[in-house]
Amino acid sequence: MRTLLLTAAAAAFSVVGFASSAHAQNPAGSNASKHGTAVLDISYIFKKHDRFRATMESMKKEMESTEAELKADRDKIAQLEERRNTYNAGSAEYKQLDEELARQMAEFNLKMTRLRKSFLEREAKVYYQTYLEVADAVKYYAMQNNIGLVIRFNGEPVDPNRREDVLREINKPVVFQNQIDITPDILVLLNRDASSTANRPQAPGSSLPRSR
């Protein structure tokens, strides 16, 4: 029982310590607590989430290996096609190689479709699980800091020469936020178990206020 109490006390101290250090790094966290409302840049979180980035990088390398395997299969099929074409179209050798070529191409297409479908499904799961983790971190942070509403927004700068940027800016749900961006705090919370703290994330947009 005493051990449980000590553990709970240590956890509470950790929470308080995190809240204090997070607010010290990002004054907008305190401002969000005062107003009871905050904004969060989900896209930025995904770009800087350590575990998500590591997982996606691992999957990228795996996909590159798979692509190399598929390329080797395509090369074999191309060689078989060249071999088939050395015979006359009506010859028995041509017909035999043509049937083998059709079989290998069908198997290749099935393999490629299966591998890509599997990769896309796994990728979707990684995105979903990461989003659930972000949502849990937001809920935890909001409850610890008496924040009743967290709204998603995009803090990316707008290039007026890019149509998609202009449309995004026009259609954004948040027209103005008075320094209540808790994105850096949530990112610290998500990455606090990282082995290195040398490159601790800073507020999006460097030290400039994010007023978008």
* pLDDT tens, residue by residue, 65-118: 999 999 999 999 999 999 999 999 889 999 999 999 999 999 999 999 999 999
Instruction: List, in sequence order, the alpha helices (H) in the chain.
Output: 2-25, 27-35, 42-48, 50-84, 92-144, 163-171, 183-191
Dihedral pair phi/psi, residue 154, rounded to 5°: -120, 120
- 151 in any annotated domain: yes
Per DSSP, what are the bridge partners of residue 39? 151, 181
Percentage of the chain modeled with pLDDT above 90: 59
Task: Answer yes or no: is 205 within a domain.
Answer: no
Q: How far is CA 38 from CA 105, 109, 170, 176, 191, in A?
A: 55, 49, 20, 11, 20
Q: Which two tokens stand for residue 14?
A: 């950790």
Choice among 77-86, 120-129, 135-144, 173-182 with the minimum mean pLDDT: 173-182
For residue 6, pLDDT beyond 70: no
Domain, as residue range, for 115: 2-191
- The tens digit of pLDDT for each residue in 31-41 reads 888 889 999 99
Computed on alpha carbons and rounded to an integer, the radius of gyration of the chain in Å comes to 27
Number of domains in the chain: 1
209 lies in a domain? no
Examine residue 89 and state whether it is found in any structural domain, yes or no: yes
In a domain, 206, yes or no: no
Q: Are 152 and 173 in contact (CB under 8 A)?
A: yes
Dist CA 110 CA 127 (whole Å): 26
Q: pTM, whole model, 2 decimals? A: 0.70
Q: Give the largest Cα separation in the chain, rounded.
A: 88
Domain membership flag for residue 125: yes
Residue 197: inside a domain, yes or no? no
- The CATH number covering residue 49 comes to 3.30.910.20
**Residue 206: pLDDT over 80:** no
Output the six-digit token pair for 32: 């969000």
Mean pLDDT for the chain overall: 81
Q: What is the mean pLDDT of residues 165-177?
A: 84
pLDDT value, residue 49: 95
Residue 87 main-chain phi, psi, to 5 deg: -105, 160
What's the pLDDT tens digit per position in 42-73? 999 999 999 999 999 999 999 999 999 999 99
